Amino acid sequence: MENAKSVKLVLEDGTEIQGQSFGAFTSAAGEVVFSTAMTGYPENLTDPSFAGQILVLTYPIVGNYGVPGEELYESISRIFESDKIHVAGLVVNYYSEEHSHWHAAKSLGEWLAEYNIPGICGVDTRMLTKKLREKGAMLGKIVAAEDVPLHDPNQDNLVAQVSPEGVQHYGTGRHKIVLVDCGTKTNIIRCFLERDVELIRVPWDYDFTQLDYDGLFLSNGPGDPKMCTATIEHLQKALTQDKPIFGICLGSQLMGLAAGGDTFKLKYGHRSHNQPVKLTGTQRSYITSQNHGFAVDTATLPADWDMLFENLNDGTCEGIKHKTKPFFSTQFHPEAAGGPQDTEFLFDQFLDEVEKYKAGK
């Protein structure tokens, strides 16, 4: 880019990669992870699950369709996955300063600058991704004018940083669903509202067991699930009842921990729109959108829990279910945004369980 300032990406193993600055000319540290998704950077950058992370995009050209303007649906964003950018920094190969799309309101660089997020371009992102695949996700930093120390965001309670402070209500539908917001994507809220529910959105540490509700939903979110001790304690109470529970991503890990199982950190995580999963006990497979660095260790689950979905790339757990109660979860994102919507029917299955529960009361 003409007149671009020089910056560098520094990894914890000592690797230094020179590049050019776009977005905010500032330094930032975080965990360096990669996504192989070809599109969807407005959704990815606003996904709270990326909090504290420096995101490497493997697709060779980024920014060519700009960033759309804001639109609201039921007081939430129709396009973005939250109200701000959550990544600590962005790493791309070629950044397109020029953008062209009928919906674009600004460039990617302008948008990053608004939130003081640094970007670095001119990086061989595929070489970098190979390094991260071989050595695992690493701490790193984008260094501009002033150096900053390395920082491990997984030592922080990132969920507490991205979860809302108060209770919010949406819709007036036929079922009352409590959504425990550990960093939820707005498309999850949209998926529920499109299915005519009353949604009660509560903070991560809110004692939802005191509420009157028909079904419980556990959202996605960033960081180590074991940081969410308050959520796990409340969830353990809910698991003694029979009200349906559905969890996505971090919500799946929290369900596993509350059930008595354990979680572990993946070497480099699953972040893409093309992750294949298989429904356990069948030959039925789905292509899914994923963004997670931790997973449930199914070997530690009690006997009354089963693995629901399996990742066909590495065999890790992509969801769990209770054998007799209406509790289930997915490690992937049925609502996508961006990505395939092949498994959005799981929202309908959850609400079917809510119907059955209400009919049997």
Catalytic site positions: 249, 333, 335
Give CA angle at 51 (48, 53), nearest 5°.
135
Rounded to 10°, the helix 250-259/229-238 angle is: 60
How far apart, in Å, do the first and last CA atoms of the chain sit?
64
Query: Three-class SS string for 194-257?
Result: CCCEEEEEEECCCCHHHCCCCEEEECCCCCCHHHCHHHHHHHHHHCCCCCCEEEECHHHHHHHH
89 is in an annotated binding site: no
247 is in an annotated binding site: no
From the centroid of its chain, how far is CA 246?
16
Counting Cα atoms < 13 Å in the Cβ hemisphere of 291 gives 34
250 is in an annotated binding site: yes
291 is in an annotated binding site: yes
221 is in an annotated binding site: yes
CB 179 within 8 A of CB 219: yes
Element (H, E) at 162: helix 158-162
Q: 19 by DSSP, 3-state: which?
A: strand
Cα dist from 231 to 253, 264, 321, whole Å: 11, 18, 19
154 is in an annotated binding site: no
Binding-site residue positions for L-glutamine: 49, 221, 223, 250, 253, 291, 293-294
Binding-site residue positions: 49, 221, 223, 250, 253, 291, 293-294
